[in-house]
Amino acid sequence: MSAGFYFMIHLYFKKIKFEFRYRLKFLQKKTNKKMKFTIEQIKAEHQKVKSGADFPQYIQGMKNLGVSKYIVYVADGNTEYFDADHQSVNSGEKYDDLTVAGDLNLEQFKTRLKLHQQGGTDYPVFCSDCAENGVNGWEMDLNAMTCTYFDTKGNDILVEQIPG
């Protein structure tokens, strides 16, 4: 497939993210419920993480704030955090856009993921590894204690149990 095709897919997913955020913000205004956490509190928890080895403590801190799930998009690092009432806040773009490979290399991704979980890489390197291996993002469900990685087509490619 051509680079233009993948670029169009990238634009399509950005459009979907925008529409989803718009609809979610509308629902938030409609319910008038106050979020239990702020993006500043989430950033403070994130600052405590130096490598994948710190991850279990990070998850516990997020649960203590009231985060029920979050979705990370590898392309720009934007993360959407949800509470139990399905209200959300966004981190916004965290870095310059990464090009996520259209072809999934699951075995290489698993190798790099294991290295990251053992503390061998930091978060920016892990995000680059995801992009290079066709991983578009992941969803952390803090109730089910699962992490589900997904590809550029939206397919779930790997589900892991969160330790702790």
pLDDT tens per residue across span 90-100? 999 999 999 99
- The owner of tokens 């053992």 is 118
Q: What is the CATH number assigned to the segment(s) 3-161? A: 3.30.1810.10
Tell me the whole-structure pTM to 2 decimals.
0.76
**Helix, strand or coil for residue 124?**
helix
**Helix, strand or coil for residue 144?**
coil
- Reported as a single tens digit per residue, the pLDDT across 5-22 is 555 555 566 655 555 555
Which helix (H) or strand (E) segment is 148 a member of?
Answer: strand 146-151
Which helix (H) or strand (E) segment is 149 a member of?
Answer: strand 146-151
Sign, CA torsion 27/29/30/32: positive
Query: How would residue 23 be classed by pLDDT, with cut points 50, 70 and 90?
Result: low
Query: How would residue 119 be classed by pLDDT, with cut points 50, 70 and 90?
Result: confident
In this structure, the number of other CB atoms found within 10 A of the CB of residue 144 comes to 13
